[in-house]
Amino acid sequence: MKFPKLNTLLVTLLASIAVFPAQAQLKLPASHTRQHNSLIANQKPSVNPFKIENNDILLNQVKAREAAIDNEIFNSYWNSDRVNPYGNAVTIPEHHNIDVSEFHSPCPGQITSNYGYRSRFGRMHYGTDLKLQVGDTVRAAFSGKVRLTKYEGRGYGYYVVVRHDNGLETVYGHLSRFLVKPNQYVKAGEPIALGGNTGRSTGAHLHFETRYLGIPINPAAIIDFENQVPHKDVFAFDKRTYGKSQKYAPAKKKSKKSYASKKRKSSRKATRRARR
Residues 6+ apart with CB under 8 A from 193: 138, 158, 160, 172, 175, 176, 177, 178, 179, 180
CA dist 104 and 14 (Å) reads 71
In whole angstroms, the minimum distance from the beta carbon of 193 to Zn ion comes to: 15
Strands 128-131, 157-164: pairing is unpaired
Chain residues binding Zn ion by CB under 5 A are: 127, 129, 207
- Nearest residue (CB) to Zn ion, 101 versus 246: 246
128, 175 contact by CB (below 8 A): no
Compute the half-sphere exposure of residue 268: CA atoms within 13 Å on the CB side of its CA. 6
In whole angstroms, the minimum distance from the beta carbon of 206 to Zn ion comes to: 8
In whole angstroms, the minimum distance from the beta carbon of 125 to Zn ion comes to: 6
In whole angstroms, the minimum distance from the beta carbon of 230 to Zn ion comes to: 20
- Nearest residue (CB) to Zn ion, 112 versus 137: 112
In whole angstroms, the minimum distance from the beta carbon of 156 to Zn ion comes to: 9
* Residue 23 host element (H or E): helix 2-27
- Nearest residue (CB) to Zn ion, 96 versus 125: 125
* Beta bridge pairs of residue 162: 146, 170
- Nearest residue (CB) to Zn ion, 85 versus 216: 216
- Nearest residue (CB) to Zn ion, 165 versus 245: 245
- Cα separations (Å) of 174 from 63, 105, 110, 138, 207? 36, 17, 16, 11, 7
